[in-house]
Structure 1
Amino acid sequence: MLVSAALAVTAILSTATASAGSPSGASGTEPLDRIVPQPAEVRTTPGVAFDLDPDGALYATAGSGDAKAAADFLAGLLRKPTGYALPVRGLSASAKPAGIVLALGGANSVTKPEGYQLQVTSRAVTISADDRQGLFNGVATLRQLLPVKADRQERMPGPWRIRGGVISDAPRYAYRGALLDVARHHLPDADVKKYIDTIARYKINYLHMHLIDDQGWRLQIKSWPELTTIGGSTGTGGILGGFYTQEQYKSIVDYAYARGVTVIPEIEGPIHMHSALASYAELNCDGKAPEPYTGWLNSEDGRLCLDSPVTYEFLDDVIGEIAALTPGPYIHIGGDEAHDLSQAELDGHFEKVAKLVEKHGKKVFGWQEAAGSFDPATTMTEFWTTGINDEQVIAAGKAGGKVVMAPATNAYVDMKYTESYPEYPVGNAWAGTTTVADSYDWKPEEQLAGLPANSIAGVEAALFTETVFGINQAENLAFPRMLSIAEIGWAKASTHDWDTFKPRLAAQGPRLRESRVNYYPSPDVPWPLGS
């Protein structure tokens, strides 16, 4: 069972000793209390460790595709650095093999959604969970218990030793997201996959892809091909245009799912749609297509023609094609910064679009400006700032609606760290600067007074790319602040403490380095030598 909130991380002394043939101790292993995000309960078994040997194997619950997927993923990570074959074998109900075991269902003390138990003895490492996501969360924790050299993409010498103990864990919030804007500046699909690799390490379970904005339309829509031919041809500042074919997008979705991450596509509207309006004249109220937009701010000509039936025929086609490519439950329909529209106009637009999303079998997700127009019982909204429509968001929460918290002042990771870094023009500052300490120093339940705490679905770290010019700059802004958001979304509120988080965060520096992630070595954090 999970320990009480006041004792989130516990070390329990044990008289257990290593069995014959096992390591004589746990020297050289990674401590169990350096995990990010912080687990709910940690018990260390002194003097015990597990060694992965050249003839080692992984075992997945027989007949479970989910268990095998998690085992295949872990084996794929370990084969290169260890040089071991690491076959994945089926696990019968009564078997207790030596090796690494991924068991779905059965004897598992953590029964919460996405929860897992990770037990390390001298004979086996066993990850037990009741659902697929729990197994992947256990794998993410196990990766941090392996030596740092396990993140190398080349063969390294052993030993491959893991300290003995038990971790019992489950998340605080079900939604832990990362928004990646590929509309302002396109990122190649290989770079998006690299970003997914890093967020998955820290139990981020949703990738919110901002696919459409004034400056670019990034996903092929076969029934409206000019959206990418014209709308995807450029980006902010007139550079870094491009788009994903449907096959490339599906590859990103599948890649994410294979790492425990669900993709949420965002289509925008009723503003931020200049790229669509530039692509098709009939989408404009005057029947004339404007030139593509490459400015840094919002386009004044990016508003959909809300009185035209063609607008909703268009959105029906777009939502239908995207829904068919996206197995995840949500489609994000935008709604932000529509300040010049009346409540009646917003209500009419969002009612129509919500029906289209539901028609194609998906759940509606939108920015906070849409909260007053949504049915709170069936939709989710995303909070990014106070002072816009606070009462509507609070009313939605009180009526049973769910809200994802992404306050720009703390969780928009495109903000500069300081006034001087990153250097201009990289990074925004309209919401202020955000140090790594600032990205950790906030509580979801305190962002909007009056919003019920039980209406909070989770948190999201957002990276918009008007001032980001490629994956290296994206990573430098997102990491390590993404780890702060991951911790807030996962760990118990009572464990929230910057002084205890700092050393755990610092321990991730060498791992990010070995994974070639271009993180910012913030002076807030006591990074070890070699980070």
Structure 2
Amino acid sequence: MTFQSFIWAALCFMFIACDTERPAKLSQSSVIPIPVSITSAEGGFALKSDSKISYESGLQNEAQALKQRLKSLTGLEVNIEDGASENVIQLSIDPNASANEEGYLIKIDKGKVKITGNSEAAVFWGIQTFCQLVPVPSDNVSGPNPQFFISAGEIEDYPEYAYRGMMLDVARHFFSVNEVKHLIDLISTYKINHLHLHLSDDQGWRIEIKSWPLLTEIGGSTEVGGGKGGFYTQEDYKEIVRYASERHMTIVPEIDMPGHTNSALASYGELNPGIKVPEEGAVPTERTQMGVAGQPTPLYTGREVGFSTLDTNKPVTYQFIEDVIREISEITPGPYFHIGGDESHVTEMEDYIPFIEKAQDIVTKYGKKTLGWDEVAHAKLLPTSVAQYWAKAENAVMAIEQGAKVLISPATKAYLDMKYDSTTHIGLNWAAYIELDDAYNWDPTTLDEQIKREHIIGVEAPLWTETVTNRSEIEYLTFPRLAAIAEVAWSPQDRRDWDSFKSRLKFHGQRWTRDNVNFYKSPKVDW
């Protein structure tokens, strides 16, 4: 071999090593949730160091998000350059892109990727899809100019449900602002657009209320198992809201009432009616010591529920509720305020119903729509209210019969805190073992014949944290099931297929591995 031939061969090898393996046609890509329509074409777009991002007015946030995500995925510094026309990813808004407010269209050819949406949020969801088309760098990619080939074609997409949510319980165990931000980043990849924060429960009060400061000083001082607890200042909470908003995610605050309230009762004894002790054996012995009316209850660090209630007959209780709802509503731009309402076993129904109705009126007074767990349907609901179906279909039907809507979160399908199987080292199993295929193979419209598509605002996957203590454990119970539930919430039923999903999921497992996400390697998937 001549010296010139050797140099040429070396250069060719370097070029090959710098390019990831060219993927299959666009229609065979691993996007989750699966889009409404994918059409393949010949050729593709080579993402490389001299590629550019351009954007129309109003999309600066989305352009920056794309730049940062591409840097994370590939190591490339893709610059933002107005007016770029070749080797460019263009972001634009077009009211005709889709009939759906969150609908988007992606067109990919040799010199250009165009992501067009009906709104800023739509463009952001288009960016999430595009970033899933970028190949995972192989270990042997090296050299001065790595390239990432993305097959040509078109993707048309829009969501089945407007509300696609996850709930994080920060009351049983507290999680920092940064841990919540990390979760927001992970779930926004799958087009989740609501994060429901369960901010209070028997074991902890997690949001500063300036007019009732002992709620966090006392009620926020512990957690399940007796840890130090913690809470968000209102500035912390506003930072979470801001960070989520940049990712087109709405924060839904929940203050559970009238039950699940021991942390409030421990902070302010005037809210305590004195616990009515159920029959022997129905409640752990230590709860029998929590029943002195008008006196603070002991802090509680156990897991069992159903023993606490606010005093529903005292005016001070409604002043407390109004102050809490007012202060949180003032720093929550989203439309919903969640009042809990579940498992209030020691609140008599004749007290529970007027309490829920009064709480609903207060939420309305401060410009929000009421969300509540499905038990709230026993009260008279406003047409603007939403019952979150978690346990009893008949409660959801009661809400529908009153003209209210429902949010679908069946514990047997969507509860992320349920164990995968009997060997799972964290989680619970009171509702079910939920393997990956169980989380995927269901549809909100088939749970009960009286709950129809027009009654449903969306789907939410709750993660309760009795057994969850850190970020790694959040990840383990959330992924890959959150990806499955996200596809239930976003994709039309006729596009969803278990075999297709588990095949596509392998790519996401590679991404999670690369990003050090502690996901569950389900035996249902050939990872």
1:113 Cα deviation after fit: 2.1
CA distance in 1, matches of 2:523, 2:144: 31
Q: 1:483 to 1:267 in 2, by over 3 A?
A: same
Aligned to 1:101: 90
Aligned to 1:193: 181
Letter in 1 for 2:55: A
Unmatched tracts of structure 2, length 5 or more: 1-18, 274-292
CA distance in 2, matches of 1:435, 1:103: 40
1:122 Cα deviation after fit: 1.2
Letter in 2 for 1:418: D
Matches within 5 A, 1:238-249: 238-249=226-237
Matches within 5 A, 1:436-515: 436-515=436-515
Letter in 1 for 2:397: I
CA distance in 2, matches of 1:253, 1:83: 29
8 Å Cα contact 1:30/1:162 also seen in 2: no
Asked if 1:294 is matched to 2:294, the reply is no
Aligned to 1:20: none
CA distance in 1, matches of 2:68, 2:24: 21
Aligned to 1:366: 372
SS in 2 for 1:371: helix
CA distance in 1, matches of 2:187, 2:144: 25
Task: Encode CA deviations 1:196-251: one digit per residue, 9 max, x unaligned.
Answer: 11111111111111111000001111221111111011001112511111111111
CA distance in 1, matches of 2:309, 2:348: 13
Indicate the percent of aligned positions where both proteins have the same amino acid: 41
1:149 Cα deviation after fit: 3.6
SS in 1 for 2:256: coil
8 Å Cα contact 1:185/1:240 also seen in 2: no
Moved more, 353-362 or 271-280: 353-362
Matches within 5 A, 1:368-447: 368-386=374-392, 390-421=393-424, 423=425, 426-447=426-447
1:477 Cα deviation after fit: 0.8
Say how many residue pairs are matched.
Answer: 486
Aligned to 1:39: 35
What is the RMSD of the two structures over their aligned residues, measured on CA atoms?
Answer: 2.3
Q: 1:502 to 1:269 in 2, by over 3 A?
A: same
Letter in 2 for 1:86: V
Q: 1:212 to 1:31 in 2, by over 3 A?
A: farther
CA distance in 1, matches of 2:361, 2:136: 49
SS in 1 for 2:150: strand
8 Å Cα contact 1:304/1:311 also seen in 2: yes
8 Å Cα contact 2:305/2:343 also seen in 1: no
Aligned to 2:278: none
The counterpart of 1:71, out of the listed 52, 63, 67, is: 63
CA distance in 2, matches of 1:138, 1:374: 40
- TM-score, normalisation: structure 2: 0.88
CA distance in 2, matches of 1:325, 1:299: 30
Matches within 5 A, 1:194-273: 194-273=182-261
Unmatched tracts of structure 1, length 5 or more: 1-24
CA distance in 2, matches of 1:399, 1:291: 39
Moved more, 328-337 or 78-87: 78-87
1:413 Cα deviation after fit: 1.0
CA distance in 2, matches of 1:346, 1:365: 16
Aligned to 1:5: none
Asked if 1:323 is matched to 2:329, the reply is yes
1:435 Cα deviation after fit: 0.7
1:468 Cα deviation after fit: 1.1
8 Å Cα contact 1:26/1:162 also seen in 2: no
CA distance in 2, matches of 1:77, 1:45: 25
Aligned to 2:166: 178
8 Å Cα contact 1:398/1:451 also seen in 2: no
Q: 1:429 to 1:81 in 2, by over 3 A?
A: closer
8 Å Cα contact 2:66/2:127 also seen in 1: yes
Q: 1:465 to 1:86 in 2, by over 3 A?
A: same
CA distance in 1, matches of 2:405, 2:167: 18
